[in-house]
Amino acid sequence: MSFDTTALNRRRHRFEGRSQVWLFGYGSLIWKADFEFIERRIARLHGWSRRFWQGSHDHRGTRESPGRVLTLVPDPDATCIGVAYLITPAVFDALDQREKNGYLRHVVPLAFGDGTEVEGLLYLADEHNAAWLGPASDAAVARQVAHAQGPSGANRDYVLHLAEALRALDADDPHVFAIERLLRESATATGA
């Protein structure tokens, strides 16, 4: 699969007869909702964990020096806490551009705190896309993140904003918090 998944996503879900769709955000969509939405709710996705295994060649890095951003990986015992946005299908024109670097839309069941469940969409990147970086140790991820910079800013800021947003949701994520800790330790050691 190419770097740009915009056309693929537009063929995957056309939204005929739907005036509203739930979108699940588990990464930057939690703290950077630069799109119109009708409602925002904390939501849970069971069976998935966040991992910094996707390359960012268009936002938080470059093709020569990609950053690392989140995707989800199957994890039967995990629950990923994020934010669900109720949006109109028209919003996907901009979202498909934002999430074009290897992410495809997938239908998933989302659970809200009041016990209700809905069908929603999320953007997921897997090993079949050109921007996939795959597993690495927390230390290796933190080193790559510390040096990556792209049109949307420093990759480090992506991690720090996300960690802050997850704490605001009272969402524990050991992987994200480990990378954040390593980045802060590295900045302290170098005086940055």
* Cβ within 8 Å of residue 61, ≥6 positions away: 55, 67, 68, 148, 149, 150, 155
99 is catalytic: yes
Q: Which two three-digit tokens encode residue 45? A: 């996705």
Q: Which two three-digit tokens encode residue 80? A: 């990923």
**Are 180 and 163 in contact, with CB atoms under 8 Å apart?**
yes
d(CA 76, CA 121): 19
- Which of 16, 36, 39, 99 is the catalytic position? 99
Size (the chain), residues:
192
Q: Which residues are catalytic?
A: 99
